[in-house]
Chain A
Amino acid sequence: MASAPASAGQPKARVASPLRRPLDRALLGGVCAGLAERMGVEVLVVRVMAVMAATVGGLGVAAYALAWALIPASPGSARSRRPGAWRQAPLIVLTVAALFAGVHLAGSHVGEGLWPLVLGACGLALLWRPAVADDGSLRSGRPTLRDYLNRPAQVGAPRLIAGGLFVAFGAAALLHAVGVQHSLGKAIWAVAIIGLVVGLVVGPWVMRMGSSLSFERAARIREQERAEVAAHLHDSVLQTLALIQKRAGDPREVAGLARRQERELRSWLLKRPGDAEQASVTGALERAAAEVEELHGVPIEVVTVGDTPLNGGLEAVVQAAREAMTNAAKFAGSERVDLYAEVEEERVEVFVRDRGVGFDLDAIPADRRGVRDSIIARMERHNGRAAVKSSPGEGTEVELVMERAAST
């Protein structure tokens, strides 16, 4: 049995450091290492004593198993367990112990009251262990039965079966040792009745405790959600309302503020993740519309059908649409601008329409390049096309079409 190197530098100051099982120094469960650390003695000494105790009637094994079950692993050490076959050691040792016990029971009657207890303790160790300390995220503090009850799913099926068998064998052996096997039927009845009575007496209380626990949890979750909503409203709506009160004299700005807040609140309510907005066509169009709306104070009504991820050609569509919206908001003098985008299997179409003053496309001076360069030429560069329909007094509609096969 090799002494663990880490124990060489044990701190002499024994300020009530709690009893823990350092799994990184464990041979089996780390009980001996933990005890040695706590008591400030060489781990080898403790181990020799433990082995000696184990050979005396099995009491040492039972004590070890119980300690294993009840002492939590030291924090952080669980992940750095000793590698290799030692992980299986507990099962092997316990099985050997059980066989040992079985032989004893069949043969002599030495210590016959003790071995059932050993078996039972081994079984409990198997059952409780995984729940209380196998995961590295264990809270510090003593694991309780409730930890086990709260997280029963963490007990693997093999452990569950093995542990259950151990406990059952232990119980049977105990009955045998006490010599009640002849009146076993009556005993079972007695136990069942006592169990029923105890269950009736204690059951409601246990259930109430359980339900009040879950009620508390639900209340806590609700409270968290409420706090989140409150925080959001405070950061957004309340700020905007304060701003609106300050700027009450400027109707245009107030309308803009209200619009922006509305949009922001909507996207929050509909849970559109912000990053996805940039990556999809409709998301990008909505963002562009929002920016133009903010810049020029003209509301833009966005209606979209279908969606698809952005690519180079579609980004050009978004840019062109943005330019068209900007023109409409800046020059048309329209009360509102409509943007309609439809993503179909073969093509993406975007329409930007206003009811403003309109213009004669041919009459635009050659040096005003906005429409021709930013919209028409941009679409053509990406194998799309753009059409501008406008006549003075009737408003303007810009139509952008991009075949999806052509846009990569």
Chain B
Amino acid sequence: MSDRPRVVIVDDHHLFRSGVRAELGGELEVVGDAGTVEDAVALIREQRPDVVLLDVHMPDGGGVEVIARMSEECQDLRFLALSVSDAAEDVIAVIRAGARGYVTKTISGTELAEAVRRVAGGDAVFSPRLAGFVLDAFAQDAGANGPDAGRQAAEELELDQLTPREREVLRHIARGYMYKEVAQSLGISVKTVEAHVSAVLRKLQLSSRHELSRWAVQRRLVSLDGP
């Protein structure tokens, strides 16, 4: 993968698109932007970019829709979700649809370029917020699945839970550590950190249980009764 991945920006806010374009222009090759799902699909077909920067919230179906329509067609196309959204269920939905990561729009230009490069290279990009969402989701699931765990197939069970190491990596990311710092703190290589994060992403996308979406719905109704 070249050091200047070709990027398409999909966001329904024109101002935001041009802002990101200006920020990334120096470091990456922005080959176009689109404001609607239709335009995005056409643009991606035409330009065949490496990475699509995708807004989670758009009027006509949003990022999920674009991923759903393009991922079959372009196997090596990668998506990175970019959103102001705080709603966990929306973010998890885009990740489960196939996005390789999620960053918030407050991210700096340099960090964003770095995240795009990482995604273009096949890695997963977890912002602290996404790491928090995922920890939250799997924490709830572990509790919900406890009693009838024996009835589940071992393979599925493995998908349903994070290994202690994966949890530890995610917690560091949630604490604001960069991959390099996570590696340093845990005494492992950056490659291993990347492997753990990719494994978490895969679990997030592959685990078919409905608990994950149920968690997302419940999260809106978080009560004060504790976890």
Q: A304 contacts B175, CB within 8 Å?
A: no
| CB-contacts of A221-251 with B (<8 A) | none
Q: B129 contacts A305, CB within 8 Å?
A: no
Taken residue by residue from 158 to 176, chain B's Cβ proximity to chain A (1 for < 8 Å, 0 otherwise) reads as: 0000000000000100111
Measured between beta carbons, the chain A residues less than 8 angstroms from B52 are: none
Q: A303 contacts B227, CB within 8 Å?
A: no
Residue in A270, A340, A397 whose CB lies within 8 Å of B174 = A340
The answer for the CA separation of A405 and B224 in the assembled complex, in Å, is: 18
Measured between beta carbons, the chain A residues less than 8 angstroms from B174 are: 303, 305, 340, 342
Q: A305 contacts B224, CB within 8 Å?
A: no
| Across the A-B interface, the 3 shortest Cβ-Cβ residue pairs | A338-B176, A303-B132, A306-B227
Q: How far is the CB of A355 from chain B (nearest CB, A)?
A: 8
Q: How far is the CB of A315 from chain B (nearest CB, A)?
A: 15
Residue in B108, B177, B220 whose CB lies within 8 Å of A353 = B177
Measured between beta carbons, the chain B residues less than 8 angstroms from A335 are: 108
The answer for the CA separation of A304 and B135 in the assembled complex, in Å, is: 9
Q: A305 contacts B136, CB within 8 Å?
A: yes
Q: A308 contacts B128, CB within 8 Å?
A: no
Q: A338 contacts B224, CB within 8 Å?
A: no
Q: Does A362 contact B (CB under 8 A)?
A: no
Measured between beta carbons, the chain A residues less than 8 angstroms from B139 are: 305-306, 344
The answer for the CA separation of A279 and B222 in the assembled complex, in Å, is: 13
Residue in B131, B220, B222, B227 whose CB lies within 8 Å of A345 = B227
Measured between beta carbons, the chain A residues less than 8 angstroms from B106 are: 299, 301
**Which residue of the partner chain B has the closest CB to A304?**
B132
Q: B227 contacts A338, CB within 8 Å?
A: no
Q: How far is the CB of B96 from chain A (nearest CB, A)?
A: 19
**Which residue of the partner chain B has the closest CB to A303?**
B132
Residue in A279, A303, A342, A397 whose CB lies within 8 Å of B224 = A279
The answer for the CA separation of A397 and B182 in the assembled complex, in Å, is: 13
Q: Does B59 contact A (CB under 8 A)?
A: no
> How many interface residues does chain B have, given as a range?
20 to 34
The answer for the CA separation of A266 and B104 in the assembled complex, in Å, is: 14
Q: A308 contacts B227, CB within 8 Å?
A: yes
Q: Residues of A within 8 Å of B, CB-based: how many?
A: 27
The answer for the CA separation of A301 and B106 in the assembled complex, in Å, is: 10
Taken residue by residue from 103 to 140, chain B's Cβ proximity to chain A (1 for < 8 Å, 0 otherwise) reads as: 00010100000000000000000001101100110010
Q: B86 contacts A338, CB within 8 Å?
A: no
Taken residue by residue from 271 to 314, chain A's Cβ proximity to chain B (1 for < 8 Å, 0 otherwise) reads as: 00000100110000000000000000001010111111100000
Q: A351 contacts B135, CB within 8 Å?
A: no
**Which residue of the partner chain B has the closest CB to A308?**
B226
**Which residue of the partner chain B has the closest CB to A337?**
B176
Q: B224 contacts A353, CB within 8 Å?
A: no
Measured between beta carbons, the chain B residues less than 8 angstroms from A344 are: 139, 227
Measured between beta carbons, the chain A residues less than 8 angstroms from B108 are: 335
Q: How far is the CB of B197 from chain A (nearest CB, A)?
A: 16
Task: Give 7 A-B pairs besides A303-B128, A303-B132, A305-B139 with Cβ atoms closer than 8 angstroms.
Answer: A299-B106, A305-B135, A305-B136, A306-B139, A308-B227, A342-B135, A344-B139
Residue in A340, A343, A351 whose CB lies within 8 Å of B227 = A343
Q: B227 contacts A301, CB within 8 Å?
A: no
Q: A340 contacts B226, CB within 8 Å?
A: no
The answer for the CA separation of A114 and B84 in the assembled complex, in Å, is: 76
Q: A353 contacts B175, CB within 8 Å?
A: yes
The answer for the CA separation of A355 and B226 in the assembled complex, in Å, is: 32
Taken residue by residue from 70 to 85, chain B's Cβ proximity to chain A (1 for < 8 Å, 0 otherwise) reads as: 0000000000000010
Q: A307 contacts B128, CB within 8 Å?
A: no
The answer for the CA separation of A262 and B106 in the assembled complex, in Å, is: 11
Measured between beta carbons, the chain B residues less than 8 angstroms from A351 are: 175-176
Measured between beta carbons, the chain B residues less than 8 angstroms from A397 are: 175
User: Given the interface contacts A342-B171, A345-B227, A353-B177, does A266 sit within 8 Å of B132 by beta carbon?
Assistant: no
User: Given the interface contacts A338-B176, A353-B177, A397-B175, does A305 sit within 8 Å of B86 by beta carbon?
Assistant: no
Q: Does B186 contact A (CB under 8 A)?
A: no
The answer for the CA separation of A305 and B86 in the assembled complex, in Å, is: 13
Q: A303 contacts B87, CB within 8 Å?
A: no
Jot down 5 A-B pairs with beta carbons below 8 A, ordered by A.
Answer: A305-B136, A306-B136, A306-B227, A340-B171, A342-B171
**Which residue of the partner chain A has the closest CB to B130?**
A303
Q: A340 contacts B224, CB within 8 Å?
A: no
Q: B226 contacts A338, CB within 8 Å?
A: no
| CB-contacts of A71-92 with B (<8 A) | none
